[in-house]
Amino acid sequence: MTGSDSSAADRSLLSVRDLRVVIDGLHILHGVDFDVAPTGVTALLGRNGAGKTTTVKAVMGLVPRTGSIRFAGSELASLPTHLVVRQGIGYAPEDRGIFAGLTVAENLRLAERGGDGEPDYRLVHELFPELERRSGQLAGTLSGGQQQMVAIGRTLLNRNRLIIADEPTKGLAPKIVAEVADVLARAAQAVPVLLVEQNLALVRRLAGTCAVLADGRTAHRGDTAELLADEDAARRLLGVGGRRPGAAAPAITEVNL
């Protein structure tokens, strides 16, 4: 670890170094390094297939991994998923994991973690009052944005110290994306968030720092606003922001939030 890496790790809530994943003989991650700030939102970016979802699954212990995963000073790389969760990491997966045939209240109740203090329904309902109003509604009848409230709300019940949100706006209409942006902004006021996301408008709004993956490796780490303001870097790392000579620079956002 270099001096700058060591300094960043010392200031981080989550510090990942040389993270590698091999599944069925296929090398997916080849040495991923990044840090998650102790407040606000940190974004994990990259083109499709760069290894973002595999990275967060590796952090959670959902795929075999090697390397170092230090969280609040504790090493997690050898721990199974249930013990990673016990350290205080809440995970909202890419498909949201909502039980459509259960009510909102039942979905939340299933997320209660025994032996971790009383579930914090006050915080969840304070951040997302709509969930309290819709507690008896079947989760499958909610909008995409409301379902994302349930997914994020479940991670807040157990006083987690970090939320990982994987592609929370995937497949959602622009109006619902704006709802989810508000959901994440409210959640990040209470708990730091590691956000895996393709929508750069949302990333620009929420994330102070970011890491960019390419081909299973870390290609960039730094300030989010600086990266998205650099047309050449955004085009090279994310495949956006290119323009013809003499043409106006295109927006690198997908929707306006």
Please report, for residues 18, 77, 93, the alpha-carbon distance to residue 33 in angstroms, rounded to integers and kept in the order given.
6, 13, 21
What pLDDT does 183 receive? 85
What pLDDT does 252 receive? 36
What pLDDT does 17 receive? 98
What pLDDT does 251 receive? 37
Q: What is the mean pLDDT of each run of 10 residues along the chain (257 residues)?
A: 56 96 96 97 95 97 97 96 94 88 96 81 90 96 90 89 92 84 90 94 95 97 96 90 40 37
CATH number 3.40.720.10 given to 3-238: no
pTM of the model: 0.84
Q: What is the DSSP string of 114-169?
A: TTS-S--HHHHHHH-HHHHHTTTSBGGGS-HHHHHHHHHHHHHTTT-SEEEEESTT
